[in-house]
Structure 1
Amino acid sequence: MTTITSPQPATRPSPPSATPLHAQGSQQSSTREVAEAADPDTGLPARVNGAQRTDRGVASRLAAVPGTIARFLRPITTVGWLVLGTAAVAFVLAFALGWVEFVFVGVTLCAAFVLALFSLIGRMSFQVSAELEPRRVTAGQRSLGRLTVHNSGARPTAPTRLELPVGAAVAEFVIPRLATGAEDENLFAVPTQRRAVVVAGPATTVRGDALGLLRRASVWTQRIELFVHPVVVRIASTSQGLVRDLEGHETALLSNSDLAFHALREYEPGDDIRNVHWRTSARTGRLMVRQYQETRRSQLLLLMDTERGHYATDDEFELAVSAFASVGVGALRDETPMRAWSTAGALRTRTHVSLLDDSCRIAPTDSLHSSLREFARVAGMRAPTPSLVVVAVGSRTSDAEVAALAALYGGETRIIAMRCAPERAAGQRRVGRATVVDVPSLDQLASLVDRVNR
């Protein structure tokens, strides 16, 4: 280590003292250790490390300044900023033009703003709860909400305004003065005329002045979802399948190997010798073989086309969603293996409640797929070949699009297109390999599906 000292008068150098070499080395080493004592955490000299810590502390405090300022400025409303801006302009004009009137305007506006600050003084000690009963309804049924406000503080509370968003609307409640431990309860109705997911909350108390210069909101509850399910009707079984399976449903077709015994017939060349019924053959003197009814398992693929351009009106779209949900609920009731898709993605099919919950979220889409055929192709990827495809479409879906969809599947897959068109007469017709069913109303859906299943 090099030490710099102040200059001294020129004198004859004295002879070096007889200091042992090892002592000199020890003295220099101790000097170096004192001068370069390091912080054990950072490895830097203590003075450097202390300066860095001070700089970091100052930097953190400076970084928190914008957030602190924003927190204090947040309660100022648009009207409040207009008042402050007008006051500033009035003072500038009064200084530039020397008009006392502008000083009066500026002082008046500033006084109004200062008086508004008193409306934000104090804290509220509330326990707020919002409930919806029931949480799941069918479109048109009634659902009620309850909002409870409890004063959990040690002092009475002043009258307060509370806002509760319900769907697209905002319900306002005036909470009266509450003594310590007192409670206020309010009931409200939730609009459930149409299928939707109605979000209620969060409940927010609002404090502010009468002029609307300042507004402070405090959030007390979380959002609550109310599922307004589509209207569904009970339809006939959709368990018609073409995938052979020993645990499937019996059909009218006969087979030489299955579990559902049908009858005995005479042996024909090519019959499996294992199907020979030897007792009957010995009694009749002719070889008789067993014949079975073929059993098949349904693999239902349920599709909901949500392309906006395929529907003439919103009511037509709602009719398609109800038809789609009705078929899905019927399949789940029959325990038919199924997959359900809308243009936006897959829907849950574990239970009929989960299917209806997801049906509440179905909304019109714009050009998510290039065509109806492409939508069906994406929905059927990485899945077993369906035995039955049911697709809900609108009145503006052309026959060519339905025929192109049907061309995706082999001859053992049956395709049914439910064209929801209130202005058309009920009926069914063939379009290529698909059966197109015109559904003018939900009440006629059950009879139309039953007619197709025959």
Structure 2
Amino acid sequence: MRRALAGLTTRGRSFVAAGATAILCAFVLGERDLLRAGVLVLVLPLLCTLAVSRTRYRLACARRLDPPRLPVGREARVDLRLENVSRLPSGLLMVEDRVPYALGGRARFVLDRIEPHGKRELGYRIRSDVRGRYRVGPLTVRLADPFGMVELVRSFSLSDRLTVTPAIVPLPHERLAGAWKGGGDSIASAVSAAGEDDVTPREYRHGDDLRRVHWRSTARHGELMVRREEQHFQSSGTLFLDTRRTSHWGDGMAGSFEQAVSVTASIGVHLVRTGMNLRYVTDAGEALPAASADGGFEGLLLDALAIARRSKGGSLSPGLAVLRGRAGKSRDGDGLIIAVFGALSGEEARSVAAARRGAGTCVAVLVEAHGTAGSPSPQDGGAEPVSAQAAGLLRAGGWRVVIIRSAAELAGAWAQAGQAGEDFVRDGS
């Protein structure tokens, strides 16, 4: 009852105040009619409070997000199912699902009545132009009397997570020359190096193609022998993102950091879908270990990029140390390294260039901010832009360099990056 009294609405409190005032005035003035009216006005909200406090029906709630992960700017649908699991019909219900402001604000519904064991299906749409991980729910139900005197709030504990990933730019089906090297062994390369006689055969099995029969081994062993199936290369690569606060300029979607995150997501999704094993590294070190598409790397990468924030660190050393350590384990380097940077100083560019080992393909994507403060432009007395200086140092170290100003320019730059043996600079102006 105490909880119900605390749930009196403004109308209910006004009735209580008016009734108490009328009763007091009736005693002072000796007016019986005023006393009757005051008692009626005072008792009505109290009776409503008693009725709502004795409500014993129970409600069950279920929620479904479709889809639970989506890119920025896309819509998701939220489906709610509210069920009355008691034997009593419900009264007037005001239902509100708590939704972060970035997803569109509150979702409210009014239900007149739910019969015993009845169900109600509710739905609404949400969208966000800002990547991140958002909590949808819990659902709150406001119980009210027909006169609007009392309102009690009951909340469910169920909530769901919606992940809004960076914008993905579709890339052309271009393979970077020299990128498809890796840690697998190929029988075809072994044959070309050692000769056909040195290929290890195996016994013939029912269903094997007769064109793969190895006749010399068959004559030697006295039974049908076939060549082993060719093992494909296990291509691997590294995706590097510079998250340092000092290397990015601008806020919001137009800032260089948001564009860099979108570029990283686009390249990562493209490479995973082409069958490459990737790992994700930032300036702070390894963020996600190497995995293939079968291992769910695409989802893990998008989840990580959805909550990526600018780091307070000012050095690339931890991340570059991971690149050097991995590259040092293989004669061909890391297979493929694609690094996405903001602004790089000359010293930082030299450190990045030195991270390349062996014959691995390394591509640096430099994301320029519009109107970057402190960066000299070509019109400033012929001074060379910071990005151009860094690009020259990286190219001298064997890196291919791409300079873009937004993720929208990545598709055209990627097509040029696929040209064999050609280093270039893509100017987004």
Q: What's the TM-score bracket when you normalise by the shorter of the two chains?
A: 0.5 to 0.7
1:130 aligns with 2:53: no
Aligned partner letter, 2:339: V
* Partner SS state of residue 358, structure 1: helix
Aligned partner letter, 1:303: F
| Closer/same/farther in 2, CA of residues 185 and 244 from structure 1, 3 Å limit | closer
Q: Is the 8 A contact 1:127 1:220 kept in 2?
A: no
Q: Which has the larger radius of gyration?
A: 1
Instruction: Give the superposition deviation at 1:360.
Output: 4.7
Unaligned 5+ segments in structure 1 are: 1-71, 88-109, 251-257, 263-294
| Closer/same/farther in 2, CA of residues 406 and 223 from structure 1, 3 Å limit | same
Aligned partner letter, 2:238: L
Paired residue for 2:350, among 396, 403, 408?
403
Instruction: Give the superposition deviation at 1:324.
Output: 0.7
Separation in 1 of the partners of 2:87 and 2:80? 22
What per-residue deviation string (whole Å, max 9, x for no partner) do you get for residues 304-348 of structure 1? 222233232322323212211122122212322321134576237
| Closer/same/farther in 2, CA of residues 359 and 238 from structure 1, 3 Å limit | farther
Paired residue for 2:287, among 335, 339, 346?
346
Separation in 2 of the partners of 1:232 and 1:339? 20
Separation in 1 of the partners of 2:341 and 2:148? 53
Instruction: Give the superposition deviation at 1:114.
Output: 7.0
Instruction: Give the superposition deviation at 1:381.
Output: 5.5
Paired residue for 2:264, among 299, 318, 324?
324
Structure 2 equivalent of residue 95 of structure 1: none
Unaligned 5+ segments in structure 2 are: 18-41, 194-231, 372-384, 421-429
Aligned partner letter, 1:163: E
1:230 aligns with 2:163: no
Identical-pair percentage? 21
Separation in 2 of the partners of 1:336 and 1:353? 11
1:311 aligns with 2:249: yes
Instruction: Give the superposition deviation at 1:436.
Output: 3.3
Q: Is the 8 A contact 1:242 1:412 kept in 2?
A: no
Separation in 2 of the partners of 1:301 and 1:371? 19
Q: Is the 8 A contact 2:166 2:305 kept in 1?
A: yes
Separation in 1 of the partners of 2:180 and 2:122? 57
Aligned partner letter, 1:431: L
| Closer/same/farther in 2, CA of residues 340 and 112 from structure 1, 3 Å limit | farther
Separation in 2 of the partners of 1:307 and 1:112? 64
Structure 1 equivalent of residue 415 of structure 2: 450
Structure 1 equivalent of residue 308 of structure 2: 363
Q: Which aligned pairs between 1:35-184 and structure 2 lie closer than 5 A?
A: 118=50, 119-168=52-101, 169-184=105-120
Q: Which aligned pairs between 1:404-419 and structure 2 lie closer than 5 A?
A: 404-419=351-366
* Partner SS state of residue 95, structure 2: strand
What per-residue deviation string (whole Å, max 9, x for no partner) do you get for residues 374-424 of structure 1? 333257657855233212122x44343233223234353443221223638
Going by fraction, where is strand more abundant, 1 or 2?
A: 1
Structure 2 equivalent of residue 437 of structure 1: 402
Scaled by the length of structure 2, the TM-score of the pair is 0.60
Q: Is the 8 A contact 2:63 2:81 kept in 1?
A: yes
Structure 2 equivalent of residue 265 of structure 1: none
Scaled by the length of structure 1, the TM-score of the pair is 0.57
* Partner SS state of residue 166, structure 1: coil
The count of residues paired between Structure 1 and Structure 2 equals 328
| Closer/same/farther in 2, CA of residues 338 and 240 from structure 1, 3 Å limit | farther
* Partner SS state of residue 177, structure 1: coil
Structure 1 equivalent of residue 341 of structure 2: 393
Separation in 2 of the partners of 1:390 and 1:331? 10
Separation in 2 of the partners of 1:249 and 1:117? 82
| Closer/same/farther in 2, CA of residues 337 and 244 from structure 1, 3 Å limit | closer
Paired residue for 1:372, among 316, 322, 329?
316
* Partner SS state of residue 163, structure 1: strand
Separation in 1 of the partners of 2:353 and 2:186? 24
* Partner SS state of residue 265, structure 2: helix
Instruction: Give the superposition deviation at 1:233.
Output: 1.6
Q: Which aligned pairs between 1:202-221 and structure 2 lie closer than 5 A?
A: 202-207=138-143, 216-219=153-156, 221=158
What per-residue deviation string (whole Å, max 9, x for no partner) do you get for residues 36-75 of structure 1? xxxxxxxxxxxxxxxxxxxxxxxxxxxxxxxxxxxx8899
Aligned partner letter, 2:296: T
Separation in 1 of the partners of 2:409 and 2:242? 20
Q: Is the 8 A contact 1:347 1:358 kept in 2?
A: no
* Partner SS state of residue 366, structure 1: coil
Moved more, 326-335 or 241-250: 241-250
Structure 2 equivalent of residue 334 of structure 1: 274
Separation in 2 of the partners of 1:412 and 1:191? 45
Separation in 1 of the partners of 2:283 and 2:47? 56
Q: CA RMSD in A?
A: 4.9
Separation in 2 of the partners of 1:402 and 1:180? 70
What per-residue deviation string (whole Å, max 9, x for no partner) do you get for residues 4-23 of structure 1? xxxxxxxxxxxxxxxxxxxx
Separation in 2 of the partners of 1:212 and 1:346? 55
